[in-house]
Amino acid sequence: MADLNLNQIHKSFGALEIIKGIDLDIQSGEFVVFVGPSGCGKSTLLRMIAGLEDVSSGTLTIDGKDVTHAEPSERGIAMVFQSYALYPHMTVAENIGFGLSLAKRPKAEIAAKVQAAADTLQLTHLLERKPKALSGGQRQRVAIGRAIVRDPKVFLFDEPLSNLDASLRAQMRLELSELHARLKTTMVYVTHDQVEAMTMADRIVVLNGGRVEQVGTPMELYNHPATPFVAGFIGSPKMNLYTGPFAERLGCKTYGIRPEHIRVSEDSGDWRGQVRHVERLGADAILYLDVEEASSMMVRLAGDTQLRPGDTVWASPQDSAAHRFAA
Amino acid sequence: MKQSRSLASGIVALIVATVIFILPFLFIALQAVKSKSEASRLNFALPKEWLFWENLVAVVEARNYQLLLAYFNSTVITVFSVSILVILSAMVGYVMQRRQSRWNGVAQVALLMGLMMPPAVVPTIGLLQSIGLFKTMTGMILIQVAYNISFSTLLYRSFIATIPRDLDEAARIDGAKPWQIFFRVILPLLKPVTVTNVVVQSIFVFNDFTNPLYYLPGRENITVQLTLYNFQSTYTSQYNLLFMNILLVTIPPLIVFIFFNRQIVTGMTAGAVKG
Per domain, the residue ranges of chain A are: 4-231, 241-325
Mean pLDDT of chain B: 88
d(CA A217, CA A204): 6
Nearest-CA distance B123 → chain A (Å):
45
- pLDDT tens by residue, B162-186: 999 999 999 999 999 999 999 999 9
DSSP-based three-state secondary structure for A2: coil
Nearest-CA distance B255 → chain A (Å):
29
pLDDT at B104 over 50: yes
**CATH H superfamily, domain A4-231:** P-loop containing nucleotide triphosphate hydrolases (3.40.50.300)
Answer whether residue B28 is part of any domain: no
Residue span of the structural domain in which B266 resides: 66-270
For residue A90, give the chain B residue with the closest CA: B185
d(CA B151, CA B115): 7
Answer whether residue B4 is part of any domain: no
List the single residue in B174, B185, B191 with the smallest CB-CB distance to A99.
B174
Answer whether residue B195 is part of any domain: yes
pLDDT grade for B43, boundaries at 50, 70 and 90:
confident
A-B CB pairs within 8 A amount to 55
Architecture, CATH, for domain A241-325: Beta Barrel (2.40)
Nearest-CA distance B252 → chain A (Å):
31
Residue B204's pLDDT is: 92
* CB half-sphere exposure, A140, CA atoms < 13 A: 20
Residue B8's pLDDT is: 92
Close Cβ partners of B167 (under 8 Å, ≥ 6 residues apart): A85, A87, B185, B186, B189
Residue B272's pLDDT is: 47
Percent of chain B with pLDDT over 90: 53
Q: Which of A 129-148 lie inside 8 A of B, CB atoms? A: 146
- pLDDT tens by residue, B28-41: 999 899 888 888 88
- How many contiguous H segments (helices) and E segments (strands) does chain B have? 13, 0
Q: Give me the mean pLDDT over the B53-63 stretch.
A: 88
Answer whether residue B33 is part of any domain: no
- Which value does ipTM take for this structure? 0.85
Nearest-CA distance A288 → chain B (Å):
41
Substitution target from A98, A104, A155, A163 for chain B, most B beta carbons within 10 A: A98
A73–B contact, CB cutoff 8 A = yes
Q: Give me the mean pLDDT over the B108-134 stretch.
A: 92
Residue B49's pLDDT is: 85
DSSP B222: -
pLDDT at B271 over 60: no
Which CATH number is B85's domain given? 1.10.3720.10
- Among the listed residues A184, A321, A240, A235, the one whose alpha carbon sits nearest the alpha carbon of residue A35: A235
pLDDT grade for B252, boundaries at 50, 70 and 90:
confident
DSSP-based three-state secondary structure for B135: coil
E strand spans, chain A = 4-13, 16-26, 31-35, 57-62, 65-66, 77-80, 154-158, 186-191, 203-208, 211-216, 240-242, 254-257, 262-265, 271-280, 284-291, 296-302, 312-317, 323-325
d(CA B85, CA B149): 6
Q: Give me the mean pLDDT over the B88-113 stretch.
A: 92
d(CA B168, CA B182): 8
B85 and B201 in contact (C-beta within 8 Å)? yes
Q: What is the C-alpha radius of gyration for chain A, rounded to an integer number of angstroms?
A: 23
A114–B contact, CB cutoff 8 A = no
pLDDT at B255 over 90: no
Tell me whether residues B174 and A73 touch, CB distance under 8 A.
Answer: yes
- pLDDT tens by residue, B217-227: 888 888 988 88
Answer whether residue B78 is part of any domain: yes
Give chain B positions within 8 Å (CB) of A99.
173-175
Nearest-CA distance A86 → chain B (Å):
7
Sign of CA dihedral B12, B17, B22, B27: positive
Q: Which of A 21-50 lie inside 8 A of B, CB atoms? A: 50
* Burial annotation A62-89 (CB, 10 A radius, 16+ → b, else e): bbeeebbeeebbebbbbbbbbbbbbbeb
Q: Give me the mean pLDDT over the B70-79 stretch.
A: 94
List the single residue in B164, B172, B189 with the smallest CB-CB distance to A72.
B172
Tell me whether residues A85 and B170 touch, CB distance under 8 A.
Answer: yes
Helix/strand/coil percent split, chain A, to 5: 30, 30, 35
> In what side-by-side order are the strands of the sheet with A4-13?
A16-26, A4-13, A57-62, A65-66
Give chain B positions within 8 Å (CB) of A73.
172-176
pLDDT in tens, chain A (327 residues): 689 999 999 999 888 999 999 999 999 999 999 999 988 999 999 999 999 999 999 999 999 999 999 999 999 999 999 999 999 999 999 999 999 999 999 999 999 999 999 998 889 999 999 999 998 889 999 999 999 998 899 999 999 998 888 888 998 899 999 999 999 999 999 999 999 999 999 999 999 999 999 999 999 999 999 999 999 999 888 999 998 888 888 888 999 999 999 999 888 888 899 999 999 999 999 999 998 877 889 999 998 888 889 999 999 999 888 999 987
Split into its structural domains, chain B has a count of 1
Answer whether residue B20 is part of any domain: no
User: Rounded to 5 degrees, what are φ and ψ at A62?
Assistant: -120, 125
Answer whether residue B92 is part of any domain: yes
| Rounded to 5°, angle at Cα A154 from A148 and A156 | 80
User: Rounded to 5 degrees, what are φ and ψ at A144?
Assistant: -70, -40
Residue A286's pLDDT is: 93
